[in-house]
Chain A
Amino acid sequence: MGRGNEEGAMWSIFGYLISGLIIWGGIGWALDNWLDKNFFLLGGLLLGAGSSLYLTWLRFGRN
């Protein structure tokens, strides 16, 4: 495969990282506001970053 696919993989990974942070960070932030706590946002961001990396590994690193 040519250079195009590497570039594509890079942007896909970037997309996953962004989505992970937005989705789980967003859920954490919402829980913080709802339950009046302050640790769900951090937890959500870490969870999102971790899951994104796992997803990236599943899609690009497994074989």
Chain B
Amino acid sequence: MRKFAFAESGEGFVPPSTADFNLPPVFGNNEFTTKPILLVLFSVVLISVFFIIASRKALVVPNKLQFAGESVYAFVRNGIGEEIIGHEFMRFVPFLFTLFTFILTNNVFGIVPFLQFPAMSHVSFPYVLAIFSFVIFHYVGIKKQGLGKYLKGIAFMPGVPKFVYILLTPIEVATFFLVRPLTLSLRLFANMFAGHLLLLVFIMGGDHMLKGVIGLKLIAPFAFAFGIGMTFFEFMVQCLQAYIFTLLTALFIAGALADEH
């Protein structure tokens, strides 16, 4: 592998780069069995199995597994769904819950030993999720208010002089149709990408120093300690990003449902 090339050649430290994100196919030359895709498939199986087992026999006094499952569900339903969307929230809970658990699991894969790769650091995965979110919140708004009224609500802010629309309408339209899905996906992508790169720098740097002269060997433990500290920090970022993605999707849906902005 490229990233350990310096050990044999005895050359300087090769810092991690975007090449470390292009993982080769796992089975033969099949392009559809790269690590991110397998991890995404595995996450789907894992989430399904976990919540099926956790909810299979619902007890009045829940056991640990049921309690864990119900906590996550209650967090999304009450903390995000009910608080943001309001009285119509129940029909969006399945989508929000799927979104949250899917992103959370795939993000946390970034620090699980042996898996150690966040699939969301490949930008196409967040793009697809943002497209789902985009289609759903526009669909909900159009269905609730009708196409004309919905678009009018986006483009024309009530209570401003007419000539100001020349300035404001392009901004509003760009926000709803371009900037929202882009920021939604790019925020998740950039956080996961940068986080993974950061961990690579500390761990690979520590590894490199460990193979160096005695002075470097003494510093290496600090690099590893920082790497471990950053791993905990990453865990926080991974949870936060899953939460923010779901929260913003809920906010967009709530905005589309509201009669006026």
Contacts and interface: CB of A to CB of B under 8 A. Distances in A.
Interface of A: 2, 4-5, 7-8, 11-12, 14-16, 18-20, 22-24, 47-48, 51-52, 54-55, 58-59, 62
A51 B175 contact: no
Interface of B: 79-80, 83-84, 157, 159-160, 164, 167-168, 170-172, 174-175, 178-180, 183, 244, 247-248, 250-251, 261
A12 B184 CA distance: 11
Given A14-B183, A22-B179, A59-B261, A8 B168 contact: no
A4 B171 contact: no
A23 B170 contact: yes
B157 A16 contact: no
Contacts of A55: 157, 168, 171-172
Given A23-B170, A23-B174, A55-B171, 9 more contacts: A4-B247, A4-B250, A4-B251, A12-B175, A22-B174, A24-B167, A51-B167, A54-B167, A62-B159
Nearest to A50: B167
Nearest to B79: A4
